[in-house]
Amino acid sequence: MPHSPATVPSLNDRTPLLDVRDLTTVFHTTRGTVTAVDALSFTLRTGRTLGIVGESGCGKSVTALSIMRLLSLPAGETVAGSVLFEGKDLLKLTEKEMRSVRGNDISMIFQEPMTSLNPVFKVGEQVAEVIRLHRTADRKSAWNEAVELLRKVGIPAPERRAEEYPHQMSGGMRQRVMIAIALACSPKLIIADEPTTALDVTIQGQILDLMKDLSQSTGSALMLITHDLGVVAETAEDVIVMYAGRIVEHSPVHDLFNTPLHPYTQGLLQSLPEHPLRLASHGALRKPLRAIPGTVPSLHNLPPGCKFNDRCPHAFDRCHNEEPGLIAASETHQVRCWLHA
């Protein structure tokens, strides 16, 4: 069962666009019930970019699916907490009400476009369908808008490309189509789940720049889910680091890279070949690379106390017996670690 949620101070005093409070999501498996997201709390303001980072299995994608209410029921379900979007709790909406939110107010860009795009429909039709679904538009005007959206996301010759099928496009082009679909109804929040994982480095940079520019030009908030700290450093303003379904560190991006407080965050940064922000005060290269020992624990068999204690070089007795809550190291920096109690 999830532990008692800690009260986490907000990172700002302004009313947030998204306010997630003590979100707890479980999965019912043949080996028992596991908690994939454990009492998660954070806020996101309009126009801001929040990066959520961590190893595979830490709960990043489940957090996004919980917010969008796209969990595979009955195997996965959100059992506690609230997701306040513009003050309205998404977890209390009917499915019909939630369908009007998805794509219209909140859009999601998935990791692999080929599993999200329908292979038997032209890409222009798929963009236009979103416009027709959420707005009053006839087929011709929706198609024209779809072509303009493809142009906006940097697809060359959009009139011709709109007539193509997903398999006729490169991975980078397909991802641009997914971004066009996400932007079709001018959403207030865009959730991007590993949007550049399957792309080469050059295309990855172009897609990230595009998302950042579009977010700034439209005023949309962006939640960027990734395992790549370099992506977070280039794109996000605030960062959440997750481990075993919990937030272990939450701070502005510069604070996290300049002064990482949690041993897990420190380990992630020490495993990088180069400091992501390349701050002049640090020089170009960090110390020799060091891997984090051990592996992420199974959610079926989490250790008592701090969930990172069996991999942490600083663990002491309290770490093995008591799990820390999120501790305010400063007004904008929280960490789940007894070293900072």
Q: 10: closest CA among 310, 279, 334?
A: 334
Question: Quick check: bond before 74 cis, omega within 30?
Answer: yes
pLDDT band at 135 (very low <50, low <70, confident <90, very high): confident
Higher pLDDT, 202 or 10: 202
DSSP letter (8 states) at residue 102:
B
Higher pLDDT, 56 or 11: 56
CB 290 within 8 A of CB 267: yes
pLDDT attached to residue 265: 96
Spatial separation of the C-alpha atoms in residues 201 and 216, rounded to whole Å = 23
Q: Is the pLDDT of residue 300 over 60?
A: yes
- Torsion, Cα 189 194 197 199, to 10 degrees, reads -10
Sign of the torsion formed by the C-alpha atoms of 213, 99, 53 and 179: negative
Q: Is the pLDDT of residue 304 over 60?
A: yes
pLDDT band at 281 (very low <50, low <70, confident <90, very high): very low
Q: How many CB atoms lie within 10 A of CB 189?
A: 20
Spatial separation of the C-alpha atoms in residues 265 and 55, rounded to whole Å = 11
What is the maximum span of the chain, computed from C-alpha positions, in angstroms? 68
> Domains in the chain, please, with CATH?
18-94+189-340 (3.40.50.300), 106-186 (no CATH)
Q: 323: closest CA among 220, 245, 257, 233?
A: 245
Residue 11's identity, in one-letter code, is: L
Higher pLDDT, 21 or 279: 21
Q: Out of 32-41, 132-141, 220-229, 308-317, which region has the weakest mean confidence (pLDDT)?
A: 132-141
Q: Is the pLDDT of residue 10 over 50?
A: no
pLDDT attached to residue 196: 81
Spatial separation of the C-alpha atoms in residues 196 and 175, rounded to whole Å = 8
Query: CA 285: distance to chain centroid?
Result: 28
Spatial separation of the C-alpha atoms in residues 166 and 301, rounded to whole Å = 42
Q: Is the pLDDT of residue 24 over 70?
A: yes
Q: Is the pLDDT of residue 286 over 60?
A: no
Q: What is the mean pLDDT of residues 222-241?
A: 92
